[in-house]
Structure 1
Amino acid sequence: MIKLNVKNETTRLRAVILGTAKSNGPAPTLDEAYDPKSLEHIKAGTYPIEGDMIKEMEAVAQVFEKYDIKVYRPKIIEDCNQIFSRDIGFVIDDIFIKANILPDREEELEAIQYVIDQINPEKVMRPPEEVHIEGGDVLVWNDYIFIGTYYEPDYADYIVARTNIEGVAYITKQFPHKIVKSFNLRKSQVNPKDNALHLDCCFQPIGNNKAILHKEGFLDVDEYEWLLNFFGKENCFIISKDEMYNMNSNVFSISESVIISEQNFNRLNAWLRDQGFVVEEVPYAEIAKQEGLLRCSTLPLVRD
């Protein structure tokens, strides 16, 4: 049995589901793109190829091996993008929540069912159908759960709006002992520099008391300011629009002192090292073309 334990984003990782790029399928058509960044690369003919993405994910698997982390991979589904395991589920404390994702991604959940079968069934939840929620929008931080959402009345018009108000209400009800704080995110179907697909595209806590933040990802400046004050300005690394577009906030913590980051994030990686972090750099620029990075492709199951 897997004894789940995830109380925050940064304590020492022991077990994780890492997505896979194998049998990723042909590049999607323009009509099939889920997000504006993928759309941009499909149009430009620069959509990433399977072989490159497999190499990038193997680099991450090697880092996990180095730190003696138990790694589960999804079962391979032919011609299916299974890179972003964070979308399909997430753990809060000792509960695994199956995400209600875009309907045509349901088989991705089936591919990790063999892992879910190793969890006490009483600790596995599936929200009702009207509840939309994806793991990229849920960040667990000790007594707090931070959730990215989109409050606006045109929610249904946006395929890039992945977590609704019902999702926030569901988590609030299921975890009454936690303080749930939601954030209204900026969405764009057409401009990836104006689209915070998930909360972890514009915010991520690191270490014990630090955070990476992107101001324009938040529709309400007060919500951004709340996070800035919560962590303290001196502890926050503020990323630009271009850095957000390249997914600088979507790094992944192995522990409070070790972070996996993309090798081209020069400004961020230098700052992290100045702050005393060990930075494990990996190539991940091809996967980034699909508007997801390291946090998006990992689903932590056990942290100390």
Structure 2
Amino acid sequence: MSRGADAGERGMILVNVLLFVAIASGIVMLMISGEDGALQRAGRMREAARAQAIARGGETSAVVALRRDLLTGPDSDNAGERWAAGDRGVAIDGGTFSLAIADAQDRFNVNAVISGEAGPIELLSRIGLSAGLTPEQIARAIELIRLAGPIADLRPLARAGLDPTVAARLSTMITALPHEGKINLNAVGEPLLAILLDDPMKAHELIAVRTRQTYLTPQDFADAHVAVPQQAGFTSSLFRVTASVTIGDTTQHFTSLIARRMVDGVPVAAVIARARGGAAALAGGPAGRPS
């Protein structure tokens, strides 16, 4: 074989070697990239699991606080009590933790219309008209609730043909809860209180009193020369707990619904529903996604 042929063969071998090296390098890079991706996913899963464990711990502390409150303050549930303070941005190892407890009975429970009693149906009708629903839409919404109820959230009402803006306005005054209970006057918003009293001026006056002292009493209503609405009271048995946990680059939001009552003189509180997401996730509005 000639020297030219030998040189050409050596050149071809070199090209092949370089090609194999390039392929091998690519495979190694893919393997490293895949391992990095797997490690990142595993890291995120660990962070998510830890976030959930921390949220459950916060949930347990909320149960304890609400149980204690039933003993120390059974006659009123309001924003001035210790359970309502929550925790904001508490530093934890590798991140932050926040916990908020909200009164779930701050709005009208639409499942009350399932009973067929005139009072709840009449109140929901008045709320619907105030929010901008037509009488036909209100009748359809009531029919949907009674046929499908008790509903877990407000999404079924979308089938009543509600405009999104109207639905959003309506969701600030209604909710869907599994237990019957009166609207808590210490948590209700001013628009719904105005409907309950059929007097916007008195509602504004009472909200101002509540803002000043964090609570309302029967005497406050007597002083304002209005009766306490029949479907309202000053305490609650259902509370919504929202925990937000950030660990590294992972942020998780958890919502729990806690029911509380006295049983043979003993306060009992327990989680009856959980969802992944913010406050709207449990019966809060049309966008809720209970799980």
Q: Provide TM-score, normalisation by structure 2.
A: 0.25
Q: Which has the higher contact order (CA 8 A, sep 6+)?
A: 1
Q: Provide TM-score, normalisation by structure 1.
A: 0.24
Which of 1 and 2 has greater Rg? 2
